[in-house]
Chains A and B, each alone.
Chain A
C-alpha cells in the first residue's frame, strides 16, 4: 500500500444491539445506538473537521471545530459529543458552520508557528489539513499578540520530541495517556492562556516522568508537537506495510512506515485485533537493532572455539556445516544431533527447523525456548482441558468482573494487554494479585488491587490449594457447572483432598506467609464476584512445581465455573512473540506439530508419507538433557536458531560446559550472542522486517509477518534452513513461506483451515481453524472441553529442594522490565538502554541495612551455583528475605547464579527460587572477569586480505 494516514472516525466505535437511523447531509445513515454524530458522518463517507477528537479516546468537545446543525435543536452542538437519535436530521456543511469554523481556526493559527514547509509534519498534519478544509486564507489578528512561541523543546525521550510551540493544547495526548495507556503521566498544567502540556511534575521531563514511552500521545497528536525523532530526521514515509511485532506474546500489529528500504517508524495498526491500535516502547520504537552495527551479515566458521572466526561464502558455510553434520551422524548416529527452534522466528521457520531435525538429522532432539518458560503450560492445560493453550482472546478481559493475576507482571512483560486490563479495572472490575513483589498493578493511578497475596517464592501450589480449600469448604463451588462439564468423581476426589484441614489458609500461612484472612477474602471474591479470569506468567511456570501450579489454576477455573465464555478463562501470558507458535509447530522432542506424540504410529505415518522418510518413534532430548548428554559424549552437534541459551538458560557454567563439549555448534542469529562464543559455525539471521511468515500470539491468533525490506544478510531464516537441508541432501524446494504453511495445514488438524491467502483476507485467525471451527476459535471449551470432561487433578504442595540456610539466607527471584526484552540482544542495541542500562538487584531495606548496603552500592550475589556482581536498589517492593533481579545484560549474567532445579514434569528451570547471599562488593566476580576476557577473545574475526 502507499502512505495514507489511518482512518479516524473521531470517537470510539460503539457496540450495541440497537441500531439508530438518522439523516446526515441528506443521506440516511444507520449506526449502533450511542454512536456520535461525528462518527456516524465519518462512517457514511462524510467529513467533519475536528482537532480535539480522535477515535482512540472519548469525545472531549473542546476545539469547537466539529460543530453541526441539527434540525429542531438550538445552536450548533459539537458533533463529537452529540449522540445520534432516531430521525435526527444533521447538517454538517452550512454557511453558518463555515463561518464559525473559519473563525475558530483563525484563532488557532494566530498562535502557531507558520513554518509548515520546514515542519516535520508537513503534508501529514491534521492542523494543516483542517486549515485547508475550512478554507482559511488570512489571519486578521496578525501574529504579534501574546502567544506561546519560543518555548523550550523537551527532547529528553530518545524516540520523540515535544515542541511546545506547535502544541494546540487539544489534550489528545493527555487523554491517550489516560484512556489508552492508563499511565496518567501527562497533564495540562496551568489554566487558561497559561495551559501547557506537561509530563509528570512541573520539574520533570518526559524521560524523568512516569511516561512509559508507549507512543500513544505521539500517535494522538494532531500537529508535530509530539513527533517521532525518526520522522524529523528522515521525513514523511511514502508507503506502509502491515506486519506483526517481534517482541512479546501480545502480538501487536503495526504499520511499518517506509521510505524506500528505510524504516521510518512503526505505528500500531488500529485494526489489529490483539492490540487495537496500541503499542509499547519496544514494538513502537525499539527496532533500531535491525540495522545495528553489531549485526553479522556474512557466514563465519572456525575449527575450534579458541580460534578467531573466518568469514566465508554462504556456499562454503553451508557445505562445511552439512559435511560436519553428516560426518557426526555417520560416526555417532542420528541421536547425536539436535536443534533448537526459535520463538522469535515465524511458524514456518520453526516448522522447518523441527522438520530438518526429525527428517534430516534423523532424531527427535528438537526443543525450543518454551522449555524454559511455558512448557508447564502445555503440560498442565493439556492434562486438565485437553489443549496446550490459553482459553480466551484479549478482548475477553473487558467482560471480566474479577481478575486474578498470578506470577505475571503485565505492565512490564505484556504492556499492551496490561493497558486493556487497566481500563477494565478502572471501570470497576476487581483485582487479585498473587506475587512475591508489589508489581505496579497492585497500586497505580486509579487502580488498587483488592487483595495482594505476597506469597513466599515457591509456594504457588500451597496458595492455590488454600484458595480451593476455602471455595470447597465454604460451599462456593459451581457444582452445576462441574456436574455438566467435568468428571464428577474426579471432582469429588479432588474436593476431598483440598478440603483437608492441612490445606486451610491458616495451616498453610507459615509456609506461604500470606495472612489467612486475606487469602480467604480473595477466594470468596473470586468465587462470588461474577466472571473470574485468571492471567498468569512465568512466576507460575518457572518453578519445580510449575506444571502442578498450572493444573491447580485449571482446577480453580473449573471449580468456580469460569471456563467456556467471555470474561473468564485461563490465560497464560506468553513471553516471546511466537512461543505459542513454536510449541504448536512441533518444537518439543516428544511431539509432532499439533501436539501429537511421536510414538503415535498413525500420526507418524502421515508425516512419513508427506516427508518421504522414516521418523524415530522415540522422544528426543530436552535442552538440559542435551547439555547433560553432551558432557557424556553422546550428543555432539547442535543447530540453534534465534536463541541464546548461554544467557537465558539456568546455571551458566553447566550450559557453557555442555556447549564446549560439543563437536559442532551452529548459531543462526542476528548477532554474535553469548552462545556463539561456543559456536563453530555462525549463520547470519534475518529480522522480522526482512521475511514473510506468521506468528501466533498468546490468544492463539495467527497473524501475517510481512517482508518490508530485503534481508541484509541475503536470506530469510527459512531460506537458510532450507539451504542447509539441501546441503545435507534433502530435496526441499519451497519458494515462499505460504507453501510451508500449506504443508502445516495439511499435517496439523488445528491448522486445517489456515493459509496465507486466508490470513491476507481476514487479518488473523485463532486456532483451531478446521471443519469443526471454520472461522477459528476466539474462546475455547465453549460447549465442552477438548478432552471431553474437564479433569480435576490433585496437586499437593511439595517444597522445592532449593533451600535457604545460614550461608544462603535470601531467596532470589528473577524477571524482566518493560524496556528490555529477554536476554536483551535486541533491546540492548536500541535507545531503550536509557531506561535500563544495567541489571539491578532489588533488596528490602531491612536486608540491606543488615548488610550495610545502600542504594546504588555494588553487591556480590552468590548462590550454591555461582556468583556475580551488580548494583543494589533498596526498595520495599520486595518482601524481607526476597531479592529480585533481571537477566537482560550479559555483563551481569544473572543465570550464573540460578540452579539446575526444574519443573518435575517438563524440566522448565526454577528461575524463580534460588537461595542466595548478598554482600557488599568492590569489584566484579572472578567469573565475570574470566568470562569478559573469554567473550572478547571468542568474538575475534580474522581479517583475511582480499586476493
Chain B
C-alpha cells in the first residue's frame, strides 16, 4: 500500500476530527484507524515513513503502534 495514499487518508481523518478538541481527536483518529483499516494498511502505515503525518494523526499512529 502506498504510504503517500495512507498518509493522506490518516491526515484527512485527523483533520475532520480536529474540531472535537486535540485529545479527543487523537483518540478518535486512533480508533478509526484501528476499527476501519485492514491489517496491511496498518502495517504499511506503521512501517512506513511517518514524516508526512499531521500532529494529531502522528500521535494516533503512535497509539496504533502500541497495539501492534
Contact = CB atoms under 8 A, between A and B. Distances in A.
Contacts of B20: 793-794
Contacts of A628: 1-2, 5
Interface string B1-35: 11001000100110110111000000000001001
B43 to A, nearest CB: 10
Interface string A538-553: 0000001101100000
Contacts of A795: 19
A628 B2 CA distance: 8
A625 B33 CA distance: 14
A794 B19 contact: yes
Interface stretch (A75-83, A616-624, A775-783, A808-816): A616-624
Contacts of B15: 798, 904
B39 A632 contact: no
B16 A545 contact: yes
A618 B32 CA distance: 13
A638 to B, nearest CB: 14
Interface in A483-521: 497
Contact of A905 (B1, B32, B38, B40): B32
A365 interface: yes
A599 interface: yes
B36 A590 contact: yes
Given A625-B41, A628-B5, A629-B1, A548 B16 contact: yes
Contacts of B37: 619
B38 A365 contact: yes
Contacts of B39: 335, 618
B67 to A, nearest CB: 11
Contacts of B32: 905
Interface string A316-345: 000000000000000000010000000000
A618 B19 CA distance: 28
Contact of B13 (A597, A629, A632, A905): A905
Q: Is the interface of A mostly helix, strand, loop or mixed?
A: loop
Interface in A596-652: 597, 599, 618-621, 625, 628-629, 632, 634
Given A629-B1, A795-B19, A590 B13 contact: no
Contacts of A634: 1, 40
Contacts of A796: 16, 18-19
A12 to B, nearest CB: 48
A572 B59 CA distance: 35
Contacts of B13: 904-905
A544 B37 CA distance: 18
A335 B12 contact: no
Contact of B16 (A365, A625, A798): A798
A890 interface: no
A657 to B, nearest CB: 13
Contacts of A599: 35
B19 A497 contact: yes
A621 B16 contact: no
A904 B12 contact: yes
A845 interface: no
Nearest to A796: B19
A586 B38 CA distance: 16
A866 interface: no
Given A548-B16, A795-B19, A619 B35 contact: yes
A365 B32 CA distance: 17
Contacts of A49: none
A632 B44 CA distance: 11
Contacts of A618: 38-39
Interface string A721-752: 00000000000000000000000000000000
B36 A904 contact: no
A619 B38 contact: yes
Name the residue among B2, B12, B38, B40 with the largest chain A CB count within 10 angstroms. Answer: B38
Given A628-B5, A904-B15, A905-B16, A597 B35 contact: yes
Contacts of A905: 13, 16, 32, 36
A198 interface: no
A895 B5 CA distance: 20
A407 interface: no
Nearest to A626: B38
B11 to A, nearest CB: 9
A567 interface: no
A632 B16 contact: no
A835 to B, nearest CB: 39
B58 to A, nearest CB: 17
Nearest to B11: A904
A590 B35 contact: yes
A589 interface: yes
A427 B1 CA distance: 56
A548 B37 CA distance: 19
A907 B37 CA distance: 11
B52 to A, nearest CB: 14
Contacts of B41: 621, 625
Interface string A693-736: 00000000000000000000000000000000000000000000
A380 to B, nearest CB: 12
Given A497-B19, A905-B13, A335 B35 contact: no
B38 A335 contact: yes
Nearest to B5: A628
Nearest to B2: A628
A621 B19 contact: no
Given A628-B2, A629-B40, A634-B40, A904 B16 contact: yes
A774 to B, nearest CB: 32
A604 to B, nearest CB: 14
Nearest to B43: A634
Contacts of A625: 1, 38, 41
Contact of A621 (B2, B9, B18, B38): B38
Contacts of A904: 9, 12-13, 15-16
A904 B16 CA distance: 7
Contacts of A620: 38
A628 to B, nearest CB: 6
Contacts of B2: 628, 632
Nearest to A631: B2
A621 B36 CA distance: 8
B40 A335 contact: yes
A854 to B, nearest CB: 40
A551 to B, nearest CB: 10
Contacts of A364: 38
Interface string A790-824: 00011110100000000000000000000000000
A634 B2 CA distance: 12
A365 B41 CA distance: 13
Nearest to A793: B20
A599 B35 CA distance: 8
Nearest to A795: B19
Contacts of B19: 497, 794-796
B26 to A, nearest CB: 15
Contacts of B35: 590, 597, 599, 619
A85 to B, nearest CB: 62
Name the residue among A364, A497, A544, A629 with the largest chain B CB count within 10 angstroms. Answer: A629
A905 B9 CA distance: 9
Interface in A253-305: none
Contacts of A793: 20
A597 B35 CA distance: 8
A28 B39 CA distance: 72
27 contacts: A335-B38, A335-B39, A335-B40, A364-B38, A365-B38, A544-B12, A547-B16, A548-B16, A589-B38, A590-B35, A597-B35, A618-B38, A618-B39, A619-B35, A619-B36, A619-B37, A621-B40, A625-B1, A628-B2, A628-B5, A634-B1, A634-B40, A794-B19, A796-B16, A798-B15, A905-B16, A905-B32
Given A619-B35, A794-B19, 11 more contacts: A335-B40, A589-B38, A590-B36, A599-B35, A618-B39, A619-B37, A619-B38, A625-B38, A793-B20, A796-B18, A904-B15
When A and B form their complex, which 5 residue pairs have the shortest distance between CB atoms, in order from nearest?
Answer: A796-B19, A904-B16, A904-B12, A794-B19, A621-B38
